[in-house]
Structure 1
Amino acid sequence: MSEAKPYEVLLDALDAADERTDTALQCGERVPAPWESAMQATCECLSWRGSLDNLERRQAEDRLGETVYSRFPVHARSVVVVAHSLMDRSVIDQDELKSKMKEVRARLERE
């Protein structure tokens, strides 16, 4: 398997303030953020429809999360890896993702 290269659109999403500085996974009574639950449901649908198998996604999270996207906070890596995997499969492209991210940011700024 060739080494995966990062996608610029994903690296651009990493704000220096959000960059991972810890070295250990925080465990315990952590309550997932609403976006994490929504993303998990989306991943289940992608797996059910055959676009992104759950086992393959988890293996990619392990592989890419600790290498290519290691600077991302631990709990944000899953969404970054899903986006990376969907681009690898040509389900979406970088321009489409960048446009959608811009739309979401604008909507959040209005709220």
Structure 2
Amino acid sequence: MTSGPYEILLHTLDPESRRESTLPELDRKPDPWESSMQATCECLSWRGALDNLERRHVEDALGETIYHDFPVRTRSVVVTAHTLMDRGLIAPEELRARMEVIRARWHRE
């Protein structure tokens, strides 16, 4: 892949996952994390940290380039993290530490 601040995001792609290519795969009930992510994005927009329209434009651009191999439903989370790192609102080390905490909690359940 690549090195640098976005390496943490690029390494989240499960080798078994793939990009959806047909609409039936996209036509499903969102997972709980997806609903939480949407609420987080709404709060970021409301507080002025990341406008929803801007995020969608960035998601389109990065989703077709850097994050092309990511499933469509996961792109909003990696693009949001990417943008927050670009703006200096979260450091790659902080993101890595938070992800480790979440993974540890997930493995305990």
- Corresponding position of 2:13: 14
Between the two proteins, the alignment pairs up a number of residues equal to: 105
SS at the partner of 1:16? coil
SS at the partner of 2:99? helix
SS at the partner of 1:98? helix
> Which one-letter code corresponds to 2:44 in the other structure?
L
Give the structure-1-normalised TM-score: 0.88
Q: Return the offset for 1:40.
A: 0.4
Q: Return the offset for 1:56.
A: 0.5
Q: Return the offset for 1:6.
A: 7.5
Structure 1 segments unaligned to the other structure (5+ residues): none
The 5 Å alignment of 1:92-107 reads 92-107=90-105
Distance in 2 between residues matched to 1:6 and 1:70, nearest whole Å: 18
The 5 Å alignment of 1:1-111 reads 7-20=6-19, 22-25=20-23, 26-28=25-27, 30-111=28-109
8 Å contact kept, 1:6–1:68: no
Give the structure-2-normalised TM-score: 0.89
8 Å contact kept, 2:5–2:92: no
CA-based RMSD: 1.6
8 Å contact kept, 1:60–1:81: yes
